[in-house]
Amino acid sequence: MKIFVDTANIEEIREAVSWGIVQGVTTNPTLVSKEGRPFKELVEEICSIVDGPISVEVTATDAEGMVEEGREIASWHPNIVLKIPMGIEGIKAVKRLSTEGIKTNVTLIFSPNQALLAAEAGATYASIFVGRLDDIGQDGMQVVAQALQIYRNYSFSTEIIVASVRHPMHILRAGEMGAPVVTAPFKVLEAMFKHPLTDIGLQRFLADWEKLKNLMK
């Protein structure tokens, strides 16, 4: 499984990358606006930290505008993947950009059929927002399972990104299903490292080692 960090915060990205298990970054207009910095400068700094796919979202709302804006953003760095919102205009734009060899990540996917359309248009990634589905009482991971099955049936090369992750259980279920990519907030990734028995076990090992050191004095 590839693990991406879902943030535009430079400190979080630097820290997560230092762990050696994070292979990419996903951003969106909300995450970028939280940072209060010029867009291009922020994206270029992220690209200088992470040697992997960096998803950056377009804000135009028609296909023509998305393609134009997308070409400009993609020219900033070779690792940039254009995040394009699901919809007729978005899918038209993905088709054109993918034909030009520009990588895309179709965002705001909430159904297996939307995931199918993203793959048909040649998207590099399809982001399924599991947390937002859970929030309205639908099982987000069930949509991931259905989309994975469709992709396997037709050997699509588009990779599903499990996005809008809220807790480590989303990542566990993604792993059990064989989802190729998960993007998670910094805090959720940090939580994956933790287990109370690990802390208790380490304290005990260190205390016993201290006892031995005292005996050897």
Residue type, 26: T
Q: Which helix (H) or strand (E) holds 119?
A: helix 112-120
Distance of CA 82 to the CA centre of its chain: 13
Query: What is the three-class DSSP state of 167?
Result: coil
CB 12 within 8 A of CB 149: no
Specify the stretch interacting with ligand E4P by CB under 6 A; choose among 8-16, 68-76, 124-132, 198-206: 124-132
Specify the stretch interacting with ligand E4P by CB under 6 A; choose among 74-82, 95-103, 110-118, 123-131: 123-131
Q: Is 28 or 114 the residue whose CB approaches ligand E4P more closely?
A: 28
CB 31 within 8 A of CB 83: no
Please give the positions annotated as active site: 83
CB 162 within 8 A of CB 144: yes
One character per residue 125-164, x = contact with ligand E4P (rule: CB under 6 A): --x-x-xx------------------------------xx
Give min distance, CB of 108 to ligand E4P, in A: 8
Give min distance, CB of 203 to ligand E4P, in A: 34
Owner of token pair 């989309």: 147
Total residues interacting with ligand E4P, rule: CB under 6 A: 11
CA angle 104, 180, 182 (to 5 degrees): 80
Q: Is 135 or 210 the residue whose CB approaches ligand E4P more closely?
A: 135
Q: Out of 79, 104, 124, 183, point to the residue binding ligand E4P (CB under 6 A).
A: 183
CA angle 109, 153, 173 (to 5 degrees): 55
Give min distance, CB of 105 to ligand E4P, in A: 7
28 binds ligand E4P (CB under 6 A): yes
182 φ, ψ to 5°?
A: -125, 135
Contacting residues toward ligand E4P, per CB under 6 A: 6, 26, 28, 107, 127, 129, 131-132, 163-164, 183
